[in-house]
Every structure is written in structure tokens, then in C-alpha cells.
Amino acid sequence: MPTLFQSDAGAIYRRLLGYAKPFWPLYSAAIAAMIVYAATDTGFAALMRPLLDGSFIEQNPDTIRIVPVIMVVLFLARGLAGFVSTYCLNYVGRRVIKRLRGEVFEKFLLLPTAIHDQSSTGVMLSKLTYNIEQVAESTTNTITVIIRDTLTILGLVAWMFYLNVELALFIFLVGPLIGWLMRYVSARFRRYSLRIQDSMGDVTRVAEEVLSGHRVIKVFNGEEYELRQFENVNEKNRRLFMRMVAVRAISIPLIQLIAAFGMAGIVFLATQPAMLEKLTVGTFISFFTAMLMLMGPLKRLTNVNANLQRGIAAGKSIFEILDIPNEPAGGTRRLDRARGEISFDDVEFSYDRAKGKVLQEMTFKVAAGQTVAFVGRSGSGKSTLISLLPRFYDVVSGSIRLDGHDVRDYCLPDLRRQIALVSQDVTLFNDTIARNIAYGTMESASPQEIRAVAEAARVLEFSDRLPEGLDTMVGDRGVLLSGGQRQRVAIARALLKNAPVLILDEATSALDSESELHIRHALDALIKDRTTLVIAHRLSTVENADHIIVLDEGRIIETGSHASLIEQGGQYASLYRMQFHEEPVM
Ligand SMILES: Nc1ncnc2c1ncn2[C@@H]1O[C@H](COP(=O)(O)OP(=O)(O)O)[C@@H](O)[C@H]1O
Ligand SMILES: [Mg+2]
């Protein structure tokens, strides 16, 4: 199992490095700077010998003069090298982050609808923010530590061997022990950091739900429940973090304790009579300085593994998203403007095969320019049916054709360009009313065009009363507008799109009867000359349709015109009667 994870980790790390590859000149500069930096450390330890032996004991005037100069030069080089390596690595790191963020964001746009349905917004957002930040740490901090500190250690160890082989060899008895401890600790660490990231996602998920659902929470007094839920995830996050902190807090002193044993051993060895003869004060202090200076890099190297693992865990969770296949790109068939002939041929669909069919044996035809209404109880599959046309989901079997060709044959943007959709829950973006109307490909619409459709959809009726008119900001998801106003904006948007196929999914559900009557004309204008699939909660909207299809539990149970269906006296007729209270319900 651990080997499996390791090779996995290796692949992830290589993939992350791939992102840094284009910046190799900067990397090289940083590495060169780190070599200089490591050399200055060794140089400092080495300087101890002439400083003590030359300046203090022999009192050599040349040494006395040159040592302070060297010291300043050493630190000047060290400072410069430190700056260059930090700056270059962070530059690369931030570039990598920016690209990863861009890719994840783009992925959000390309993910199939089904994935969006399943994933929590909070978790997705925390990947975009928190997890990617962790990768930044990994690509900069880790590399600094691995390269610079390893080089420093090499330099210092070499210097120690040069000074005294016996003492240096002794150090190597302690080394493996520290190494073993490092590995043990890092294995524990890796487990926690992954779980902490997951629990961080939980924290944002719960918070996000509260932020977006605050009204529901208030009116149903859900505060307690939400508090409890948040307490759970908050506490879990804390506990996991504390466990990680504990592992870290125990590991560092443990390593240092082992190091202290080593140091005590060195002092003991160095003060043996045979040694004392060979060692000058300067040599011993230089050796000892080098050894002390080893501690920092060693300590960082033990931590670096945890850091690296954290980065890899974060990288893994990001690549998991990036590796989800995009929604199918569609075929190659181009389509400028469809005539608008739609046919469903024995269509079967399920969101999740295990949960059974949502639609089955759907067969019907809509001639170009016709209006077809779908009627049926809530949950009967109306919204699902129309979401198959713009390929939010794909059929499980059977086929849907537009102008005689399977919708899967068209190139996706071309297909979607043919369809305007006004649905029940209108999504507005945090922008002005005008820019919400001219959204997406209609960005280039002129102010006159926008005003014309705003007028037809009765948007002007309320926007003209606002101080900034059509340039009024609608707030986050359009909260500053009422439901009916939002729907009118959505209708204006559909008018502007002027697509050959129009889908109205309870498009007027948020409008009161009077406003609905008012935009009736707008809708009539909208419906005219194009193929329209309409789902309406008010059957009065449906009456004028060329054709009515009644659904129940994912099947077509009745079809026909309003008059013929009333005559049939089936479900449509009873629904119709119920709505107009011609006879008591039940
Ligand atoms: N995104 C989805 N994922 C899984 N199941 C869904 C999804 N949307 C709707 N359903 C299920 O599919 C069935 C049909 O729903 P829907 O098409 O929304 O009905 P209607 O629009 O007629 O009220 C329902 O049982 C509903 O629970
Ligand atoms: Mg619906």
C-alpha cells in the first residue's frame, strides 16, 4: 500500500513540476543562487578557524585585517543570493498557481452538468483557493529547502571531514537515526494533511449553505441545526489539526534530543587526550560551528517532507478535478441557424441508473415553428425532458434530433446557440440589468437593441423607476430584484438571443397573473415563428399550444390539442378542471 501511494505521489509531483518547466531559466538562476547561499554557510563555519587560531591565538596581523572583510563579503553574498533565490522561486510558484487556478476555473465551466449536481460548491471553491495555495508552498518552500539545505549540509559535512575524519564519522552514527525518525514522522503527517483538507472543504460547504440559504434558515428556525452541523465540522477540523500539530511538536524535540546526544558524544570524543593533541581550538570550534549549523537545515529537511506531502495531497485533489472528463464536445456538424424541427425517438433517461428511469419511451415530433406544451405533476420529468435538448445531459438510449440530425452530431456551441431558455430559477450575474440581458455571445448588442427587448419583456417598467435605469446593478445572483423582475430580465435575454428554439420552463411562475398578462404579448412575440417547448404551471398558458403532451412518471400518457384532450376526459381534463375549480378537487 505505501509503495502504491508513493508512486502515485511521484506522478503527482512530476506533473506539478511540469507546470514549472517553462520557467527553467528562473529555476536555474534560483538554484545557482542557492549554491552561493549554501557556500556562504560553509564559508562562515570555515572562517571560524582563521578567526580563532589566526586572530586570537597567533595574533597574525594579516588575518586580523582580512577576517572582518571576509565576514562582510560573505554576508553580502548571502543576502544577494537569498534575495535572488526567494524572488525567482516565488515568481515561478505564483505563475504555477495562476495557471492552475485558471485551469481549475476553466474546468468548472466545462464540467458536465451531472458533476455539478453531485459536487458541493464549498468543496469545489476550497480547491480553487486553499488547496492551490498549498501547492504554492510546495513548489517554492520545499524546493528551497531541498536544494539549499541539502547543499548546505553537503558543504558543511565536507568541511567537517576535511577538519577531522574521526569526529565526522561519529556524526554519521547519529545521522541514520534521525533519518529513520524523519520517515516515520512523515508517514503519519501525510495521513493527517489529506484529512485536514477534506475537513476544510466541509467547513466551507456548511458555511456556504448558511450564506446562500439564510432566508430558509431564518424562517424555519434552522439556526440550531446549522450551528450543530458547523460545530461538528469545525471541531473535526480542529481535532485533525491538533493531531497534526502534536505529531509535529513531538517530532521536532525528539530529533533535537537525538542531535544533543550526538553533540555530547562529539565533545566527549574531542576532549580525549589523543584528540586534544591534534585539534587546535580553531579547528574544534569550526567543526562545532559547522555541526550546529547543520541542525537548522536538518530540521527544515525533516519538516520539508510534511510540507511536500501537503503539497502533493493538495495537488492530488486538484488533479482529481482536472482529470474529470469535460462534457462531450459534441460532433463536427456545423449549424448556423436551425429550422427548429425537433423529434424525440424512444428516448430513455436516468440521472443515476441505480435509481431507475426518469424518462422512458419518449417519442414525439415538433414541427418547425410549432409550440408544444408539457403538462404533468411535479416530478413527472418535464424539466428533465427539456434539459436533454441543450445536452445538459445525454440520453441513455434513443435519440433526440434537431432538423433531422442527432443533437450529439452538432458541435456543442452551435447546438446551444439555437436554443434560448427561460427557466423557473433565473440565474442572474452580479452585473447591471443591461449586461445581464446581453449576456454571453450577445455582449455586442447595441443599447437600442437591449432597450427594445427590455421594453417588450416589461423590464423598463421597473428599471425606469430605478435611478440608474438599465445600468442598475442586480446584486449577487440578482437578489436586488424580485422574482418576477428577474424572470422578466430572463425573458428579455431570451428575446435578444432570438434563437430558433425556445424553451420556457415555468418561465412565468414568479409573476402574478397581472404581470403575466402584461408580458403575454412579449411571450407571444417570442413564441411566434419559432419552435417553442413550454412548461407552464398555469394551464391558461398552455391552451393555445399547437400540441399538448401530458407526462406522468416519465412517460407520455396523453397527447393532443387542448380541445381534444378535454374531450378525452383524461388526466389533462381533470388537471384543467381542478385549476379552474369547476368542480371540487377530489
Ligand atoms: N439533477 C438531478 N439529479 C438527480 N435526479 C433529479 C435531478 N433533477 C431531477 N431529478 C429527479 O428526476 C425526476 C423528474 O424531475 P423533474 O424533471 O425536475 O420534474 P418536473 O420538472 O416535471 O417537476 C424527479 O424524480 C427528480 O427527483
Ligand atoms: Mg420542473
Residue 7 has what pLDDT?
A: 57
Cβ of 317 below 6 Å from ligand 1: no
Whether residue 586 has pLDDT greater than 60: no
Q: What is the pLDDT of residues 214-251, one digit of tens each?
A: 888 888 888 999 999 999 999 998 998 888 788 778 77
pLDDT per position as a tens digit, 319-377: 999 999 998 888 899 999 999 999 999 999 999 888 889 999 999 999 999 999 999 88
Q: At what angle do helices 281-322 and 165-212 cross, to 10 degrees?
A: 30
> What mean pLDDT comes out for the span 558-575?
89
CA–centroid distance for 197 within its chain: 13
pLDDT-based confidence at residue 34 (cuts at 50, 70, 90)? very high
pLDDT in the model for residue 241: 86
pLDDT above 80 for 316: yes
8-state DSSP, 405: E
Q: Whose CA is nearest to atom 16 of ligand 1?
A: 381
Q: 134: Cβ below 6 Å to ligand 1?
A: no
Residue 38 pLDDT greater than 70, yes or no: yes
Provide the mean pLDDT of the chain. Answer: 86
d(C-alpha 189, C-alpha 196), whole Å? 11
* 3 state SS for 492-557: HHHHHHCCCEEEEECCCCCCCHHHHHHHHHHHHHHHCCCEEEEECCCHHHHCCCCEEEEEECCEEE
419-498 to CATH, choices 3.90.950.20, 3.40.50.1110, 3.40.50.300, 3.30.930.10 = 3.40.50.300
pLDDT of res. 5? 47
Q: Is the CB of 351 under 6 A from ligand 1?
A: yes
pLDDT in tens, 103-132: 999 999 999 999 998 888 888 888 898 889
Its sign, for the CA torsion 301, 303, 309, 312, is negative
- Which of 352, 358, 533, 575 to mutate to test ligand 1, by most ligand atoms within 8 A of the CB atom? 358
**CA of 516 relative to ligand 2 center, distance in Å:** 19
Q: What is the CA(382)–ligand 1 centre distance, in A?
A: 8
Mean pLDDT of all residues in 573-581: 76
Domain ranges of the chain: 16-322, 419-498
376 CA: nearest ligand 1 atom: 22
Whether the predicted pLDDT of 211 surpasses 70? yes
Ligand nearest to the CA of 350: 1
Cβ proximity of 515 and 484 under 8 Å:
yes
Contact 538, 558 (CB under 8 A): no
Q: What is the mean pLDDT of residues 412-437?
A: 90
CA of 350 to the centre of ligand 1 (A): 9
Q: At what angle do helices 150-163 and 165-212 cross, to 10 degrees?
A: 170
Q: Is 423 in the pocket of ligand 1 (CB under 6 A)?
A: no
Structure-block grid coordinates of residue 347: 428516448
Report pLDDT for 2.
38
- Residue 4, pLDDT > 50, answer no
CB-ligand 1 contact for 378 (6 Å cutoff): yes
- What's the pLDDT at 364? 95
Question: Is 540 near ligand 1, meaning CB less than 6 Å away?
Answer: no
Residue pointed to by grid coordinates 495537488:
315
| Cell 423598463 -> residue | 460
The Cα 347–Cα 358 span in angstroms is: 10
Q: Which of 290-294, 455-459, 473-477, 515-519 has the lowest mean pLDDT?
A: 515-519
420 grid coordinates:
434560448
At 182 the pLDDT is 61
pLDDT at 570 over 60: yes
pLDDT at 187: 65
Q: Do domains 16-322 and 419-498 have the same CATH topology?
A: no
Looking at per-residue pLDDT, the higher value among 537 and 17 belongs to 17
pLDDT in tens, 429-447: 999 999 999 998 788 889 9
Q: Which ligand is nearest to the CA of 506?
A: 2
Confidence at residue 398, expressed as pLDDT on a 0 to 100 scale: 95
CATH, range 16-322: 1.20.1560.10
State how far the alpha carbon of 440 is from the alpha carbons of 49, 325, 455, 521, in Å: 72, 24, 20, 25
320 CA to middle of ligand 2, Å?
32
Q: Looking at residue 469, what is its pLDDT?
A: 92
Residue closest to 142 by CA, chosen among 275, 46, 53, 20: 20
Q: pLDDT at residue 382 above 90? A: yes
Grid coordinates representing 423 are 427557466
Torsion of CA 271, 274, 279, 281, to 10 degrees: 40
pLDDT of residue 3: 38
Model pLDDT, residue 583: 43
pLDDT for 190: 62
Nearest CA to ligand 1 atom 8: 384
How are strands ordered across the β-sheet holding 531-535? 419-422, 501-505, 531-535, 371-376, 547-552, 555-560
How far does the centroid of ligand 2 lie from the alpha carbon of residue 431, in Å? 27
Burial environment of residue 363 by CB neighbours within 10 A (0 to 12, 13 to 18, 19 or more): exposed
Rounded distance from Cα 345 to ligand 1 centre (Å): 20
The pLDDT-based confidence of 183 (bands split at 50, 70, 90) is low
At 272-295, the pLDDT tens digits run 888 888 888 899 899 989 988 987
Q: Is the CB of 384 under 6 A from ligand 1?
A: yes
3 C-alpha vs ligand 2 centroid, how far in Å?
49
More confident call, 171 vs 88:
88
Helix (H) / strand (E) element for 331: namely none
Q: Ligand 2 centroid vs 387 CA: distance in angstroms?
A: 10
pLDDT greater than 60 at residue 58: yes
> Is the CB of 382 inside a 6 Å radius of any atom of ligand 1?
yes
Q: Which residues, by Cβ under 5 Å, contact ligand 2, an ion?
A: 383
- Centre of ligand 2 to C-alpha 378, Å, is 7
Helix H segments across 354-446?
382-387, 412-417, 433-437
pTM score: 0.77
Given the CA of residue 385, which atom of ligand 1 is nearest to it?
17
Give the nearest ligand 1 atom to 384 CA: 17
CA-CA-CA-CA torsion sign (408, 413, 414, 420): positive
